[in-house]
Structure 1
Amino acid sequence: MTLLPRLFLFLLAACSTHAAVVRMEVLERSDMGTTGYEQIVGRLHFEIDPALPGNAIIADVSLAPVNAAGKVSFSSDLRLLKPKDAAHSNGAAWVEIPNRGGKAGLSDWIVKQGFTVLNVGWEFDVPAQPGKMSIKVPSARNKDGSAIRGVVSATFTPDKPADEQTLTDLTNYPPVNVEGPESRLIVRTRMAYPGGAEIPRKEWSLQGDRLHLEGGFKPGKTYEIFYLAEAPPLAGLGYAAIRDAVAWLKHDESSLAPVKHAYAFGSSQCGRFLRDFVYLGFNTDEQDRLTLDGVMSHVAGAGRLVLNQRWSTPRAVAGFYTASYPFADTAQADPASGHSEGLLENSRVKHPPKIFYTNTAAEYWGAGRVAALTHTTPDGAKDISFQENVRSYFFAGTQHGASGFPPTAQAKGAPLANPVNASAVVTALRLAMHRWVTEGIAPPPSVYPKLADGTLIPVAEVRFPTIPGMGDPRLLKAGGRVRNPQWADGAGEGQELPLLVPQVDADGNDIAGIRMPDVAVPLGTATGWVFRPASMGSPLEPVLLRGTWVPFSATREQREAAHDPRPALAERYASREAYLSQVKNVLQKLISQRLLSEQDLEPQLRQAGDRWDWVMHQPAQ
């Protein structure tokens, strides 16, 4: 490892009228083992012209302090992973959007293909911890120089009794006057809907970011705290940081890893970031060039990140606080607001990238992600088509992130977490994105449920079987729309969102989508929803973004004793070998569809065998 002296190595970006990266600090360079890659850690310094149309969209940018040149300054953490030998580079980079400050690893497929990996801090509220990536941005002030004040809020739903709660979402917003009239605490029984009962002020106190309640917080109840804060950060500069870092990497003479193409991958929070990034026009840089050639928005549903507004809290889980109109890429007339626009069809979008949307069942079912609205009209009444530059892939029977195996329950007596894992498909699609951009080879066709063929239905029409301990998913709701700050009227804020979900087969497994062997040749029922265990309170409320896996009984006698309507394993498969033969057929079909690689066959078969063995040795319920 080579550590540079504390004086740092300063690399000056090429000067131009709209040069956004003005300085690069290299803090560390080190080899990545025997991979042939090196890691470069440093910091990018930016300056942007707040008057440019592509920057004027940033919330409060006109109230930011400026330097002598009239520019707004900010800086971001940087991490590059690149082949040491430029001859081994394939000329393309994956921009891995950091999730709450996290960093991307160096996968085998990255090394084999010769991709460069770029991480850039974009989130102002990441805790100051070693290795975490963040952005430093200025705060907005009133025109007369005085501090801007406003009310901030945060919600939380405890899983167990507690007298105190740490307000992690509001760490960057210390209260100005806790005893002021703006300070309120409310409690409600439904997390998806605003409002609730006021808790008397004398019963709670706030010291720093620690909230105390006399009598304690009740598990399963949703609480929302409000208080006065000041000095809102320009959170939307996070979009400019990604835009301008990519422009630097691709076009600037001082780039430390010059590439011709760049694709961004963002999961969950970061998938929502990318949907908003494109919607707000940041895929056009200050030189009027395409920023990202490709975007892969993973497990974002129809949500976008509530970042580009005053008092943003991007680190929040944002349960039921993600989906604002527009939901789809193409312009759709909205009966609730009267507006008509799309993520890609609006006046800001000049350079739309190639896009992959990848979603699990959890984004259709819960947390207000309403993934179906990416491919239906805003009222959920009709299917709509994606544009030629867009593909959408639904992973049947999956939760927001697959659990490990063997799976465990969230609480005693609760169903198991969902282990169905489509990560191998995600890798195959990432390689397909590269070939689409560089070779013009069209990726696999979109795979998602549709109203027209009955594989997408209103939640009230789902034919879920009566499985012991599962509850009735038809009780679930999507919540209301979030305010879109780009529209003065909020674009239908609060309007009830339609909840359209994938239809299921007799076992309760999703019919449509990319069906991994765990779903196509099932050992149990896999869902993208699950109710809270009784021990965690509010058992008719969902666990955000989680699903469940309920294995089949091994024998008919066991399932009948459990009053389980689903056929047992012995009634489905003649033997372990017969089961694995069916699994192999499914895998070969996925390979032929270019959704898996040939190298995935044996590992997937071994996984299926291990899961069969585990289920067959579970005690009868």
Structure 2
Amino acid sequence: MLRRCSRAAGLAIGLAAVTLGGPAQARVTRLELASPQPFGTFRAGDYLRFDGRVVGELSPDDHGIPDLDKAQRNEAGRVAYSARIILIAPADPAAGNGTLLVDVPNRGRAYANALYNSPRAVPMLSGDVGVGTGFLQDRGFAVAEIYWELGRGADLPSFVDGEGRRRFVEGVGFAIVRDAADFLAHAAADGAGTRNPLAGTISRTLGTGKSQDGRFLKTFLLDGFNMAEGRRVFDGMHVFVSGAGLLPIMQSGTGPGSSADGTPNFADPDFPGVHDGPLTIGEIVAKVEARGEIPPRMMLLNSTVDYASLRASLGRTGAHGTADLPLPANVRMYDVAGSSHVNVLKADACRLPPGRLDWAPVARATLVRLDQWVARNAAPPETRLMPVEPATGDPAVLQAPRNLPDAVVQVPKRDPDGNPIGGVRLPDIAVPLGIHGGQNAPLTSFTCSLVGTYRPFARVQADGGDGRPSLAERYRDRSDYVNRVHEAARAAEQQGFLLAEDVAVILNAAAEVPIPEPKAEAAPPR
């Protein structure tokens, strides 16, 4: 059962007594947290997990949220909301790195640990709040999961329309994330005096979101929610595999599900709302700057499969032609060559084995570089993209929607083996054991359109090779293969796309690969 965070709970994380600050706290009226539970011990020390809810209220004209003025109001004339929240933070605030990482859950499932703590051989799925590799905690991040979605952890205001139907004001999801993130970063306590467990420990805030929630962050920024009480909410954004889309929740839905559930796909290529606004991050940043705001520093990561299944190329070219548009100075974009939109161990409904390229190391390395970029202006790696070519008429590629008649969907170019060229090249691609990042089937299954494929090379041509060189022809022996992986891993580390600890894991895995050994020559007769 939830209760307000007690003084003992506050002392458990070593926070000094502080007083309620200025007007920024007014929007979060109540923080309800159960007693903290141990999360584990890491390089940064002991961590605690807090589960609870954040309760807040909005002015009926807040940010032009559609229909908010129609929702029921409290005695103060304001509109109330509440939402689930999870905090994972150092028990000793001095042990943290000063960064609050705010994760936007995907369809009610937390994603930060799956993005950053996922081990190589057993990828963590969305919703998994387990320790995994412990990367985030070893590095001292405080993590907040702020739930925002109708029917999935958020209680949104509602009203009855002229036809007697109950409607939910879904745009409040943006306000929930804005207000809760700002509260956790800057407030001392809520309106009732319940202390913020992170008070006085946060110097910068990063937002992270994958797929649906990468689109959430871009739309959040576009519609002006990155400002609270005259200050920026997110200093940096880490946006994963969001294609060229936005999130259509600035509307009121009838429930019980969210208007954010759907997205264009092979079964419904003209799904509305997602590709009805700005397609490129440059267009979004231009609108932010035109309002006089300073945009956050941003890293956008694309998978190879996103190009064929989510129209990712339109995030580079916009709605016209095939030429890449320039990126703003506050943005870096990285294509992870050979990667799938989502990593799974198996996909029984799909006709082919799913992709298996582990790109969590790139997520970890770029998060560290984004944090350094925000904290001390340390330059991150330059944008790294795959060269692309038009795929007009290809049935394995999701073509442009009818409302974008001049848009051209493009896909990555590939080498003679079938692997994509360019982009961020992990050792799996630089020193391949097979072909990564193809399309799975049936494409009308949304899952199968996102998991991609992996086709291993034949060990030797006698195993039934398809004309491509076998492993025995590519690598003299296991030592040759491991040496090449070592070279590729060190290159990726120097470029800023791998951390030293991940290099060690990759090399250990390479040393276990069964590369065929050369046959010993028969001794000459005496």
TM-score, with length taken from structure 2: 0.82
Q: Secondary structure at the match of 2:53?
A: strand
In 2, distance between residues paired with 1:44 and 1:362? 37
- 1:140 matched to 2:150? The reply is no
- 1:444 matched to 2:381? The reply is yes
Partner residue, 2:252? 310
- 1:89 matched to 2:32? The reply is no
Q: Secondary structure at the match of 1:543?
A: helix
Q: Contact 1:355/1:389 (CA < 8 Å) preserved in 2?
A: yes
1:238 paired residue among 151, 173, 180: 173
Q: Which runs of 5+ in 2 are unaligned?
A: 11-18, 114-128, 190-195, 519-526
**Greater share of helix residues, 1 or 2?**
2
1:108 paired residue among 134, 137, 149: 134
Partner residue, 1:431? 368
In 2, distance between residues paired with 1:610 and 1:409? 25
- Cα distance 1:345–1:96, how it changes in 2: closer, same or farther (>3 A)? closer
- Cα distance 1:608–1:323, how it changes in 2: closer, same or farther (>3 A)? farther
- 1:390 matched to 2:340? The reply is no
2:60 paired residue among 50, 71, 79: 50
- 1:282 matched to 2:225? The reply is yes
Q: Secondary structure at the match of 1:577?
A: helix
- Cα distance 1:17–1:272, how it changes in 2: closer, same or farther (>3 A)? closer
Partner residue, 1:39? 49
Partner residue, 2:197? 256
Q: Give the superposed CA RMSD.
A: 2.9
Q: Contact 2:477/2:516 (CA < 8 Å) preserved in 1?
A: no
- Cα distance 1:241–1:526, how it changes in 2: closer, same or farther (>3 A)? same
In 2, distance between residues paired with 1:29 and 1:587? 40
Q: Contact 2:477/2:517 (CA < 8 Å) preserved in 1?
A: no
* 1:583-602 deviations in Å (ceiling 9; x for gaps): 11100100111111122222
* 1:543-602 deviations in Å (ceiling 9; x for gaps): 321211111112223345xxx132222221111211111111100100111111122222
Q: Report 1:280-429 matches (<5 A).
A: 280-285=223-228, 287-311=229-253, 312-316=258-262, 319=265, 320=269, 321=271, 322-331=274-283, 344-345=287-288, 347=290, 350-366=293-309, 369-404=310-345, 408=346, 410=348, 414-429=351-366
Q: Secondary structure at the match of 2:101?
A: strand
In 2, distance between residues paired with 1:411 and 1:566? 28
* 1:143-200 deviations in Å (ceiling 9; x for gaps): xxx555xxxxxxxxxxxxxxxxxxxxxxxxxxxxxxxxxxxxxxxxxxxxxxxxxxxx
The structural deviation recorded for 1:409 is 6.2
- 1:523 matched to 2:465? The reply is no
In 2, distance between residues paired with 1:432 and 1:572? 34
The structural deviation recorded for 1:495 is 4.3
Partner residue, 2:523? none
Q: Contact 1:279/1:349 (CA < 8 Å) preserved in 2?
A: no
In 1, distance between residues paired with 2:225 and 2:438? 32
* 1:385-413 deviations in Å (ceiling 9; x for gaps): 21111011100111112233xxx56469x
1:476 paired residue among 385, 396, 415: 396
In 2, distance between residues paired with 1:594 and 1:232? 47
Q: Contact 2:24/2:183 (CA < 8 Å) preserved in 1?
A: no
Task: Tell me whether 604-613 or 495-504 shows the greater mean CA deviation.
Answer: 604-613
Task: Tell me whether 343-352 or 289-298 shows the greater mean CA deviation.
Answer: 343-352
In 2, distance between residues paired with 1:477 and 1:544? 10
In 2, distance between residues paired with 1:587 and 1:545? 26
In 2, distance between residues paired with 1:596 and 1:575? 25
Q: Contact 2:364/2:499 (CA < 8 Å) preserved in 1?
A: no
Q: Secondary structure at the match of 1:247?
A: helix
Q: Contact 1:554/1:568 (CA < 8 Å) preserved in 2?
A: yes
The residue type equivalent to 1:27 in the other structure is: A
The structural deviation recorded for 1:615 is 13
Partner residue, 1:124? 150
Q: Contact 1:93/1:116 (CA < 8 Å) preserved in 2?
A: yes
Partner residue, 1:155? none
Q: Contact 1:38/1:81 (CA < 8 Å) preserved in 2?
A: yes
- Cα distance 1:7–1:18, how it changes in 2: closer, same or farther (>3 A)? closer
* 1:366-397 deviations in Å (ceiling 9; x for gaps): 0xx21112222422321112111101110011
Q: Secondary structure at the match of 1:296?
A: strand
- Cα distance 1:90–1:123, how it changes in 2: closer, same or farther (>3 A)? same
1:78 paired residue among 85, 108, 112: 85
Partner residue, 2:37? 30
- Cα distance 1:577–1:557, how it changes in 2: closer, same or farther (>3 A)? same
In 2, distance between residues paired with 1:121 and 1:377? 31
Identity across aligned pairs (percent)?
29
- 1:590 matched to 2:492? The reply is yes
Q: Contact 2:337/2:423 (CA < 8 Å) preserved in 1?
A: yes
- Cα distance 1:528–1:236, how it changes in 2: closer, same or farther (>3 A)? farther
- Cα distance 1:386–1:555, how it changes in 2: closer, same or farther (>3 A)? same
Partner residue, 1:568? 470
In 2, distance between residues paired with 1:111 and 1:525? 34
In 2, distance between residues paired with 1:519 and 1:288? 45
The structural deviation recorded for 1:66 is 1.8
Q: Contact 1:18/1:48 (CA < 8 Å) preserved in 2?
A: no
Q: Secondary structure at the match of 1:274?
A: helix
- 1:555 matched to 2:457? The reply is no
The structural deviation recorded for 1:494 is 6.2
Q: Contact 2:311/2:400 (CA < 8 Å) preserved in 1?
A: no
The residue type equivalent to 1:545 in the other structure is: L
Q: Contact 2:472/2:516 (CA < 8 Å) preserved in 1?
A: no
Q: Contact 1:82/1:117 (CA < 8 Å) preserved in 2?
A: yes
The residue type equivalent to 1:40 in the other structure is: F
TM-score, with length taken from structure 1: 0.70
- Cα distance 1:573–1:80, how it changes in 2: closer, same or farther (>3 A)? same
In 1, distance between residues paired with 2:296 and 2:438? 29
Q: Contact 1:279/1:348 (CA < 8 Å) preserved in 2?
A: no
Q: Secondary structure at the match of 2:338?
A: coil
The residue type equivalent to 1:393 in the other structure is: Y
Q: Contact 1:530/1:542 (CA < 8 Å) preserved in 2?
A: no
Matched length: 468
Partner residue, 2:70? 63
* 1:289-312 deviations in Å (ceiling 9; x for gaps): 100011011111112222222324
Partner residue, 1:458? 390
Q: Secondary structure at the match of 2:483?
A: helix
Q: Contact 1:283/1:351 (CA < 8 Å) preserved in 2?
A: no
In 1, distance between residues paired with 2:349 and 2:23? 58
* 1:113-136 deviations in Å (ceiling 9; x for gaps): 22111111101122xxxxxxx110
The structural deviation recorded for 1:109 is 2.5
Partner residue, 1:470? none
The residue type equivalent to 1:272 in the other structure is: R
Task: Tell me whether 500-509 or 311-320 shows the greater mean CA deviation.
Answer: 311-320
In 2, distance between residues paired with 1:391 and 1:515? 16
